[in-house]
Amino acid sequence: AQSVAQPEDQVNVAEGNPLTVKCTYSVSGNPYLFWYVQYPNRGLQFLLKYITGDNLVKGSYGFEAEFNKSQTSFHLKKPSALVSDSALYFCAVRDISGGYQKVTFGTGTKLQVIP
Amino acid sequence: GAGVSQSPSNKVTEKGKDVELRCDPISGHTALYWYRQSLGQGLEFLIYFQGNSAPDKSGLPSDRFSAERTGGSVSTLTIQRTQQEDSAVYLCASSPGQDWPNSPLHFGNGTRLTVT
């Protein structure tokens, strides 16, 4: 069975500082990894994905994520945080073994960027 | 273009009543998902539809929950004899059938269900 872990319920970072939101995963086959962001009272919005290729993927709003196969991690990063980045972030994995499309989400990490 | 539409946006119901939540996916998307988001919790998978295949109902928490998808488009999630623990935000998402698994999910804004 596939699973995703986000070990931090909340991350606080000062505006202008780099940020990291952690994610680890477990799948039986090759992982298809995604990050989503949820602003208050809104649905989730897609940020970026890793399918194959370069371990560093770039996405929307200046976010990037680093895929590490040996550590089964897919941490979300941004070089310089903005107050407007404050939101709830979800990591997700899609395990395609057997042609299955189920997408499993982590419990989410609340990012608070302090002015 | 139009995104995933969910209705109602808010629903307050009395314990024991039945409720229906509706999801209109993006036109042409063959995959449709329902998730539940409770306060302080992550996204709990409920059910998944893909084209004409049998749905994956493995996430439905009890037999009070059911869902259908008519004509491969609109989906309705029904909760019978609602309980207070059913209070949550119910999110619907759709995804194109082609080019999976690359395609991300497109989410609606959700239905906030409150059972009093």
A5 has a chain B CB within 8 A of its CB: no
Query: How far is the alpha carbon of A103 from chain B, nearest alpha carbon, in Å?
Result: 8
Contact A87, A37 (CB under 8 A): yes
What is the structure's pLDDT at A98? 59
Cross-chain residue pair A101–B31, CB shorter than 8 Å: yes
**Maximum pairwise Cα distance, chain B:** 43
Contact A25, A91 (CB under 8 A): yes
Query: How far is the alpha carbon of A114 from chain B, nearest alpha carbon, in Å?
Result: 21
Cross-chain residue pair B45–A102, CB shorter than 8 Å: yes
> What is the C-alpha to C-alpha distance for residues B66 and B60, in angstroms, rounded to an integer?
7
Which residues 6+ apart lie within 8 Å of A111 measured at CB?
A: A10, A11, A13, A19, A21, A81, A85, A86, A87, A88, A89
pLDDT digit string (tens) for chain B, length 116 residues:
589 999 999 999 999 999 999 999 999 898 999 999 987 678 999 999 988 888 889 899 999 999 999 887 999 999 999 999 999 999 999 998 766 677 889 999 999 999 99
What is the structure's pLDDT at B51? 83
What is the structure's pLDDT at A53? 83
Q: Which of B43, B89, B90, B106 to mutate to test the interface with A (most CBs of A within 10 A)?
A: B43
What is the structure's pLDDT at B96? 86
DSSP state of B12: E
Strand partners, B65: B79
Residue appearing with tokens 């009093």? B116
> What is the C-alpha to C-alpha distance for residues A95 and B11, in angstroms, rounded to an integer?
33
What is the structure's pLDDT at A27? 87
What is the structure's pLDDT at B33? 94
B95 has a chain A CB within 8 A of its CB: yes
> What is the C-alpha to C-alpha distance for residues B32 and B39, in angstroms, rounded to an integer?
23
Contact B107, B91 (CB under 8 A): yes
Taking the CA atoms of chain A, what radius of gyration do you get in angstroms?
A: 14
What is the structure's pLDDT at B10? 96
pLDDT digit string (tens) for chain A, length 115 residues:
788 999 999 999 999 999 999 999 998 888 899 999 999 877 899 999 998 888 999 999 999 999 999 999 999 999 999 999 999 999 999 877 655 677 889 999 999 999 9
Residues of A in contact with B35 (CB under 8 A): 105
> What is the C-alpha to C-alpha distance for residues A3 and B78, in angstroms, rounded to an integer?
27
Residues of A in contact with B26 (CB under 8 A): none
Q: Return the SS3 of A77.
A: strand
